[in-house]
Structure 1
């Protein structure tokens, strides 16, 4: 259960759950363009080491974060589940998946909208 956290440390995530965090980085190019650019989102690529049920509750997967005063929008987020059979499923913003060992979940948070 990883809610109400700013960003869970990789060590805590891997200690509490049978997962490996393969990538944890800024999402380059996801912030909106403008006088004051929007902030970059994050990328988290999680590999599951055993079967489990995973739920995700996220926003801005369909509609981009809007810019203000002429600034451009940030990139929409996405949640992509790649199964060991190499099938990729877009989980949308709110969903539950029954993953198997070797499956991966790529969480890309939205970038911020720019100002001006």
Structure 2
């Protein structure tokens, strides 16, 4: 996986021993403005075998900034979801007296660990990583109409024809 393109889930699952549980747009992560910032994406990846995973990402602490009065986008987040054995004092005491408990007796719970922007972790089979990419910052003050909505025609901002033709059109107007 890279940060420069979006790999299709089918290709990702075929090339690596993973299951892509979610791949969706992160609604509302773009900053507000005259032109709203783009929304990020969410990828929930489950590992099918034990392996080492490394992540190198940005904008996990500082929000992507908006320009010309636009609001900042949302920060990204990298979560490691681990299935850990749920233990209680009574269960631990019983194990101490009777030896290891059978696998049927074990209960598991999910623990969420923030990996930060740059990290490496040893995943077990069944562990997951949820990568939430940041949204983009907005441009322009919120509430103003979009510049694209003000145009009558898409080609209004284009320079048309030769310089001589533009001068002739200006003289005729």
TM-score, normalised relative to structure 1 = 0.96
Cα distance, 1:112 vs structure 2: 0.2
Q: CA RMSD in A?
A: 1.0
1:48 is matched with 47
Structure 1: how far apart are the matches of 2:55 and 2:6?
14
The number of residue pairs the alignment matches comes to: 115
Please state which structure has a larger fraction of its residues in strand: 1
Structure 2: gaps of 5 or more residues: 85-109, 141-173
Structure 1: gaps of 5 or more residues: none
Alignment deviations for residues 78-99 of structure 1 (CA, whole Å, 9 cap, x no partner): 0000001211110001000100
Please state which structure has a larger fraction of its residues in helix: 2
Structure 2: how far apart are the matches of 1:96 and 1:4?
16
Cα distance, 1:16 vs structure 2: 1.0
TM-score, normalised relative to structure 2 = 0.65
Q: 1:4 to 1:73 in 2, by over 3 A?
A: closer
Partner SS for 2:83: coil
